[in-house]
Structure 1
Amino acid sequence: MTELTLRATTDDDDFREFMSASYGVFLQDPRMDEIDLIRKFTDLDRMFGFHDGKRWASTAGAFAREVILPGGLTAPVAAVTVVTVSPSHRRRGLLTAMMRHQLDDIRSRGEALAILFASEALIYGRFGYGMACSSATLKGQVRELAFRPDVDLGDGLVTAVDAETLLSCAPAIYDQATAQKPGQMARTGPWWESWIHDNEERQKDSGKIRFAVHHDADGTVSGFAIYRPKSHWADTGQPAAELHVQEVRATHSRAYARLWRYLLDMDLVRSVTCYGAAVDEPLRYLVADQRALQCDVSDGVYVRLVDVARALTLRRYAAPIDVVLEVSDEFCPWNSGRYRLRGGPDHADCENTTEPPDIAITARDLGAIYLGGVSLQSLTAAGLAVELTAGSVQRSAVGFGWPTAPSVPDDF
């Protein structure tokens, strides 16, 4: 049996081979244009796996990102990605070894959080990742998606633009629009390039990427949309184009509503799909007939607290909270212990304590409630957290909740 070595990528050519191996496990052909764009925001020493001397047998990596937390603060986060094991090397403990190595590395870098999308939902719970944010897919027939009569569209104007024009204004709009949305991540210039990149593979199912921006009456640019129209005609000769919406962002509600009206009123379009929406996406409340806009909810991102005390200090809480948590963490034993958390909308502090615990919870389920999208009360009702002091769960559930549901960030 060939000996395997756990190592990081070393140079650009090695990185391309590494990424090509991960594409293959995901049943895709490597796309070098995408890989070269990804390289621009990748730290080679964070991309690693097992190598047999000739090829990569497994891969794992993380991007250094910043995530928005409840309260509007941002924190460094390891955005875990390209976790694969070749079919020829399954059931040898490679995944567990990589997760162990990665979490140790994240801790050594001083990052308190890790976050990932799971290709299969059963995989990551045993490594302490909790499903923290749901993802909604919105679908409907555009002719049935009229807005409520009291929706204010304002007097702005939406126009189609090219990629260069979009990139001149969209980053500032995005930063303002997402400032209070837990789960969203800051975007660098190279990340924007990758986010709007287009190629034949991406066009195959959804059409060519297009952009639109919203100008207020005074000329201020206050919103943008990224979308892909897919031309189609029914057997009867009637237009039946599909619209795939990648993103709609705006700095105020009128710009948001008018951008959506622009998309829904396009000639020849008969159906619309928006992937990765928030479960409380405002579009759901703009439409007059809410049944006409189908909302399918699935798991979104999974959160792992790598440093419990620091992670709980980084976010804010919807109501005053003072609770002692008994945390168990089998995979990262340095987290196991008792913590006193005190905080509110404007501050937070968490430290180790010997005081009697109020709630017993695993690191996995603490990750699940971290962004405010999963209720501690519900986890307790399911038997996944234990109330040790009467009333502590209800009070803490209010604190851990947040008025805005977390939403999934860009794919990574």
Structure 2
Amino acid sequence: MTTEVRTLQAEQWDDWYGKLERAFGGPPESREERALWRELTECERSLAVWDGDEVVGTAGAFSFRLSVPGGALVPAAGVTMVSVQPTHRRRGVLTSMMRRQLDDVRVAGESLAVLTASEPAIYGRFGYGLATEQVRLEIDTTRVRLGLPAGTDRVRLRIVSPAAAREACEAVYAQRVAARPGMLARQPGWEQMPLLDPKSMRDGAGELLCVLAEVDGEVRGYARYGVKPIWGAATGPDGAVLVRDVEALDPAAYAALWNFLFGLDLTSSVRIRSRPADDPVLHLISDIRRCGVGIRDGLFLRTVDVGAALEARTYAAPVDVVLDVEDAFCPWNTGRWRLAGDAKGATCARTTDPADLALSARELGTAYLGGFSLSALAAAGRVEELRAGALAEASAAFGSDVRPWLPHGF
């Protein structure tokens, strides 16, 4: 088989995206979704693998800024739209795209690459490690109550159209980004993504709605949701509130929004697909046993430039360790790196000093945002301590006060 990896040309997008849809299966996306993805696609960062005159592989990258521990927004390649046609599986098509893509990311000067995985087992061999988790909740609001903090009664709630509230919601979101590692600063065009509302995305709910939380006329939070009407033959109304997203700038506004969602007429449950693993709502509810809680993978992260990536974040405790990094797919990272840093900043440079810890690029990606400890990885045999005490020191330093979380896919 002779294939060629080429940069996507704008006039090829429809064919290219159609092949992506075919590889993932199911009905085609709505015209609304497709138009937005076309607008957001960075063709100069997108790849097509050709076999003759046929596209057999697709991959793209978005130019993101990712929040990291310490609050910095670090340029990161958002790997996306990866597919291989079923006729060309296990022939090196994916590897050729990953090779070209990471080389391009390095040339662009981005120290991080991130992705969400349809099949998580695939990307470890390319150096991506699971860096965040997301919690799914289905709360029985007939049996669960909320403990509301002081000041909740001062919050005014107002229902507005999502489009009319877009600017206010984006202002709240922008203030939240630096406070939690793993969040994405919205680049131009991405403010439209939370407003997508084709019927295919509603899961039986009505149109998308938005409620604003205000204090003294200032918007302090928002929630976007739809109501799915369900009627039991014997029990009557049993609807579900399907929550798209919730963000707030203070505990009172956050609690007021959840209290609103809990109290909607003709409903008996609130469902949300993705919240941080340490979401405050878990401490507001009265009975965790009445909440269907599920945890799944979120963001996968790869350090494309080890030195620059480790210097871009801060550290929860003083650290001075030599990391022996193994990186077969990006060999420029392989070798020993001295990391020295604290809450104010860090340096990371190559060294010939003896190593204190040994790990691969995959484990470094998993630990990078502070959601998973180096100690836990060591207990699984994935990090090796070479100097007594180095593991505890580095594990404490890499930790984050809040759990990292990716708020939306890409």
TM superposition score normalised by structure 2: 0.96
2:148–2:255 contact (8 Å) kept in structure 1: no
Instruction: Report the CA distance between 1:54 and its aligned residue.
Output: 3.9
1:66–1:185 contact (8 Å) kept in structure 2: yes
SS in 2 for 1:92: coil
1:8–1:44 contact (8 Å) kept in structure 2: yes
Q: C-alpha distance in 1, partners of 2:120/2:303?
A: 18
Q: Structure 1 pair 205/93, CA: closer, same or farther in 2 (3 Å)?
A: farther
Q: C-alpha distance in 1, partners of 2:263/2:224?
A: 15
In the other structure, the counterpart of 2:33 is: 34
In the other structure, the counterpart of 2:334 is: 336
* Aligned residue among 12, 32, 43 for 1:14: 12
User: Given residue 295 of structure 2, which amino acid in structure 1 is its aligned partner?
Assistant: V
Instruction: Report the CA distance between 1:41 and its aligned residue.
Output: 2.7
Q: Structure 1 pair 206/341, CA: closer, same or farther in 2 (3 Å)?
A: farther
Identical aligned pairs, as a percentage?
38
1:170–1:224 contact (8 Å) kept in structure 2: yes
The answer to whether the aligner puts 1:112 opposite 2:104 as a matched pair is: no
The answer to whether the aligner puts 1:4 opposite 2:3 as a matched pair is: yes
User: Given residue 241 of structure 2, which amino acid in structure 1 is its aligned partner?
Assistant: L
User: Given residue 199 of structure 1, which amino acid in structure 2 is its aligned partner?
Assistant: P
Q: C-alpha distance in 2, partners of 1:58/1:302?
A: 21
Instruction: Report the CA distance between 1:29 and its aligned residue.
Output: 3.0
* Aligned residue among 265, 270, 280 for 2:278: 280
SS in 2 for 1:57: strand
Q: C-alpha distance in 2, partners of 1:160/1:14?
A: 42
In the other structure, the counterpart of 1:59 is: 58
In the other structure, the counterpart of 1:317 is: 315
SS in 2 for 1:410: coil
Unaligned runs of 5+ in 1: none
1:69–1:181 contact (8 Å) kept in structure 2: yes
The answer to whether the aligner puts 1:103 opposite 2:89 as a matched pair is: no
Q: C-alpha distance in 1, partners of 2:13/2:28?
A: 12
2:149–2:255 contact (8 Å) kept in structure 1: no
The answer to whether the aligner puts 1:359 opposite 2:357 as a matched pair is: yes
Q: Which moved more, 1:30-39 or 1:82-91?
A: 30-39
Q: Structure 1 pair 122/279, CA: closer, same or farther in 2 (3 Å)?
A: same
Q: C-alpha distance in 2, partners of 1:149/1:79?
A: 38
User: Given residue 5 of structure 1, which amino acid in structure 2 is its aligned partner?
Assistant: E
Instruction: Report the CA distance between 1:53 and its aligned residue.
Output: 4.4
* Aligned residue among 219, 222, 225 for 2:223: 225
Q: C-alpha distance in 2, partners of 1:150/1:224?
A: 17
Instruction: Report the CA distance between 1:150 and its aligned residue.
Output: 5.3
In the other structure, the counterpart of 1:298 is: 296
TM superposition score normalised by structure 1: 0.96
Unaligned runs of 5+ in 2: none
RMSD: 1.5
1:154–1:255 contact (8 Å) kept in structure 2: no
2:162–2:208 contact (8 Å) kept in structure 1: no
The answer to whether the aligner puts 1:90 opposite 2:89 as a matched pair is: yes
Q: Structure 1 pair 304/206, CA: closer, same or farther in 2 (3 Å)?
A: farther
In the other structure, the counterpart of 1:136 is: 135
Instruction: Report the CA distance between 1:97 and its aligned residue.
Output: 0.8
Q: C-alpha distance in 1, partners of 2:225/2:193?
A: 15
* Aligned residue among 347, 350, 358 for 1:349: 347
Instruction: Report the CA distance between 1:237 and its aligned residue.
Output: 5.2
Instruction: Report the CA distance between 1:164 and its aligned residue.
Output: 2.8
User: Given residue 294 of structure 2, which amino acid in structure 1 is its aligned partner?
Assistant: D
1:63–1:79 contact (8 Å) kept in structure 2: yes
Instruction: Report the CA distance between 1:387 and its aligned residue.
Output: 0.4
User: Given residue 359 of structure 1, which amino acid in structure 2 is its aligned partner?
Assistant: L
| Count of equivalent residues | 409
> What whole-Å deviation, never above 9, does each CA across 1:269-303 have from its counterpart, x for those lacking one?
11111112100011000112222223211111110
User: Given residue 214 of structure 1, which amino acid in structure 2 is its aligned partner?
Assistant: A
